[in-house]
Amino acid sequence: MAEPEILADLMARSALKDQRAFAELYRHTAAKLYGVALRILRRQDWAEEVLQESFVNIWNHLGEYSAARSAPLTWMTAIVRNRALDWVRRPNLERGGEDYDLLLEGTPDEGGGPEQALADSRDARALARCLEQLPASQRQCITLAYVNGLSHSELAQHLREPLGTVKTWIRRGLERLKSCLDGPTD
């Protein structure tokens, strides 16, 4: 079985409260989801907390998962991302460091960014191609927001641009991304 089918099968069994299947689901996905949480939270203790909350949440809501709507890992990732974003946006919480560039430029290629590290799937190639077609400012805003969980004001601060400019970049970037990914018929 391909990976998404294994996950779908484990999710179906976990939805029937099969704890062994859920443990197996955790074994298959925890490292990836922990990585997603770490990119946003940048602290192990917070990422562990968010991962724990997310899996309890997943266990309680497996019955609502619809295979027709999204792939298993996409659904689980969305839960982890939401938890991490909620966590990091709590009032009076400071994330340490300003090393977004380091995280972004993990690959040695010119104009690097997560888009260059995208895996070799067809969807990934399409997204990489469409991100490349965006102006650099829009591409940077979108990847920093998604990958590192930066808010509008954090982006403005980090890029030293007015808040309104950053918001416009994001809005236009998302519109262009959508029409590029969905093709000319949409």
Binding positions for another protein, 63-102, rule CB under 8 A:
63-64, 66, 68-71, 73-75, 77-78, 81, 85, 89
38 part of the interface to another protein, by CB under 8 A: yes
Nearest to another protein of 32, 135 (CB atom) = 32
Q: Cβ(64)–Cβ(10) under 8 Å?
A: no
Where does residue 6 rank: exposed (0-12), middle (13-18), buried (19+ CB within 10 A)?
Answer: middle
Residue 133 makes contact with another protein by CB under 8 A: no
**Tokens in use for 104?**
């972004």
For the bound state, the minimum distance from the C-beta of residue 140 to another protein, rounded and expressed in Å, comes to 13
171 binds another protein (CB under 8 A): yes
Q: Within a 10 A sphere around the Cβ of 185, how many other Cβ atoms? A: 5
Cβ neighbours of residue 75 closer than 8 Å, sequence gap 6 or more? 65, 69
Determine if 121 is a binding residue for another protein (CB under 8 A). Answer: yes
Q: How far is the CB of 160 from another protein (least distance, A)?
A: 18
* Distance (Å, whole) CA 79 – CA 87: 12
- Of 41, 139, 181, 184, which lies in the binding site for another protein, with binding defined by CB under 8 A? 181
Rule CB under 8 A: is residue 159 a binding residue for another protein?
no
